[in-house]
Amino acid sequence: MSEPLDPWDRAVLEAMNVEDELVTLDELSRRTGISSTILEALAREGLLIGSPGDTGPLYRIGDTEAISAGMELLGSGLPLAELLELARRMNEAMQPIAQDAVAVFERFVRDSVEATATTDTEAATRLTEAFRTMLPATGRLVDHHFRRLLIASAERRLLERG
Amino acid sequence: MRIVTRPLADPVPILEHHPDLVWLGPDLQLIGFGTFARLDPAVGPDRFVKAHEAFRGRLSELEAHDEVQTFGSGPLMFASFSFDENSHGSALVVPELVVGCRRGQWFYTSIGDHDPTWLYHPAGTGLGSADRPRYAGSSIPDLEWLEAVDRALELIEDGALEKIVLARDYAVWSKSTFETRRILERLHNRFPECFVFSIDGLVGASPELLVRVRGSGLESVTLAGSARRSTDPAEDARIASELLGSDKDRREHAAAVRSVDEVLSPLADRVFRDPDPVLVDLANVRHLATRFRGTLEPTRSVLDVAGRLHPTAAVGGTPRPAAVEAIRRLEGMDRGRYAAPVGWTSLDGDGEFAIALRCAELSGARARLFAGAGIVSGSLPEAELEETRIKLLAMLQALEVGNG
C-alpha cells in the first residue's frame, strides 16, 4: 500500500498537470486533423503518452506540437514506417535515461529541499520552482544535444561521401 | 528442329554467364538462355490453363528426345503471372537452352542445335560497379496504407472478410543498373532454403511452395503468420514460442490452410497435411507453415493446380472473392507479378510454382519492391506496417552495395 504523498511532492505532481489541457483522443484528432487511427497507433507504440481519465486515457494538448512535427517529417518525404522505427528506438533509449534523471532530481534536489526547508509550504514552493525551471531546461538541453548529434552525423556522412 | 536433353559430365557455374531465366530451389536448379518463344496467357481466370495449352501448342510440332528423364528435364517454360487476373503483364518464356541440376545430376535441354560447352569457358563479362538503392517513393504513402489497414479491419469487424492481405510497394533507383546476377547471388546465399528466381525482370526469393507436381505426386506448403528473428538466441526462442502460441497468427494461418485444403481436396486423392503448423525459419523472419502432400488426378497439370490455388489466403484473403475485391479497392496500386505464381512447367504438366514474395521488379536502374501482411481481427495497423518494413528490408539488403 503506497503512503500518502508529502505535501511538497503533491505540489510537484500538480505542477506537472497544470500546464496542459487534457483531452480525449478523438478531441486530439479533431484539433490536429490527424485521423484517430494514426493517433491510436502512436499511443500503442508509446509515442503518445496518455494520462488516466474517467472514460479512457487523456492526452495533453501540448502533444499536438510533437504530432505536428512528426507530420512535417512525413510531409518532407520520410516514410511513416521508418519514422516509427526511429521513434521506437529513441523511446527505448530515452526511457532509462528519463528514469535516471528523475532519480537524480529526487536525490540531489528533492532530498536537499526536504532537508533544508523550514516549512512544508517553503519546501513545496522551492520544489515546484525547481521543477518548473529544470523541466524546460532539460528539454532545451536534450533538444540542443540531439541537434548537434544530427549535424555531426550528417557532416561525417557528407565528408565520407566526398 | 529437335529438342534434346542430355547429361552434362561436369557442374556448370550457375550464375556466371548471366542466365536470362533462373530457378534455384533446394533440390533443383534450372537456368535458361535465349528465347525460343514468348507466350501471352492474356487475362481472365483460365489464364493458367491457357498458358499450358499455348506452351504445348508451340512445341507440338517438335520431336523431343530426353536421355535424362528426371524432374526438370525436357523442354520447359518459365512463367510468372500477374497477381490480378484482370491485369496484363504475365511473362511466359520458353528458353532455347536450359541447364539443370537435380540433386547433383547435371543435364541440359536444347531446342535446336545449341552446344552448351561454352558454359564451361570463363564469362566475358563480370559485374559492373554498383551503387546503393535510393528511395524513390511508394504508390501510396505509409499513412494512407495504415488507414487502409484500418478500413480492412472494419470490413473484418462487419463480417465481410475473415482475413485480407494488404501489400505496399517501395520504389528505389540507383546510379547504376541493378545487376540481376549480383542480387540472385545474395538472395541465394542469404536464403538457401528459398526458391530464388529471375524471370523477365522479376527477381526474388520465395519461401512458399505453392505447388509442386511430379507425375501424380503433389506437394504444397502454406505459410501464414510471421514474426521477426532476433540475433539473441534466448530472445529468438521466446519470439518463436510466442508465434506458435499466438491466437492472431494461428487464426491467420488456419484461414490460409483451409483455403488450400478446399482447393486440393477435390483435385487429389488422399491429401495429407501437417496436423499442426511448424516453424519455418529464414534469415530475417520466421513463418508458421503447413505442408500438404497428395496424389493428383492424372489429367491435372501444375499450372492447373496453381491457377486454382491462386490467390491463396496467404496472399489474398478469405473469402477469396471479397478479399480480392477489397485489395483492388484498398491497396491503391497494381501488384504486378508480386504475390502471384512464379515457376516452371514441363510439357507433360510437371513443375514447381512458388508464390512471388520477397521480390523486386527490376528495370535497369530502377526497382519496385513489395511486401504484404495478413490482416485478421485483432491486427494492429502499426504492427502490420512494421512487418512489411522488415520484409522489405530483406530485398533492400539484396540490392545494397557490399552485401555479398
**pLDDT tens-digit map of A100-126:** 999 999 999 999 998 999 999 999 999
For chain A, percent of residues with pLDDT exceeding 70: 97
Verify whether the Cβ–Cβ distance A80 to B388 is below 8 Å. no
Verify whether the Cβ–Cβ distance A80 to B385 is below 8 Å. yes
Select the more confidently predicted residue: B51 or A4.
B51
For B382, which of A35, A44, A74 is closest by C-beta distance?
A: A44
Chain B residues within 8 A of A35 when measuring between CB atoms: 147, 150
Residue given cell 514441363 in the structure block: B346
Nearest CA in chain B to A75: B141
Q: Which of A62-66, A125-129, A149-153, B151-155 has the lowest mean pLDDT?
A: A62-66
Q: Is A92 on the interface with B (CB under 8 A)?
A: no
Q: Which of A59-63, B91-95, B137-141, B302-306 has the lowest mean pLDDT?
A: A59-63
Q: Is B133 on the interface with A (CB under 8 A)?
A: no
Chain B residues within 8 A of A74 when measuring between CB atoms: 141-143
pTM: 0.86
- Asked whether B102 and B59 are in contact (CB, 8 A), the reply is no
A5 pLDDT exceeds 70? yes
pLDDT at B210: 96
For B146, which of A37, A82, A85 is closest by C-beta distance?
A: A37
Q: Is B386 on the interface with A (CB under 8 A)?
A: yes
B344 pLDDT exceeds 80? yes
How much is the average pLDDT of A56-68? 86
Beta strands in chain A (DSSP E): 22-23, 59-60
Q: Is A161 on the interface with B (CB under 8 A)?
A: no
**How close, in Å, is residue B381 to chain A by CA atoms?**
7
Confidence label for A146 from pLDDT (cuts 50, 70 and 90):
very high
- Catalytic site positions of B: 163, 208
B404 pLDDT exceeds 90? no
Chain A residues within 8 A of B389 when measuring between CB atoms: 81-82, 85
Confidence label for B284 from pLDDT (cuts 50, 70 and 90):
confident
Average pLDDT of the residues of chain B: 92
**How close, in Å, is residue B147 to chain A by CA atoms?**
7
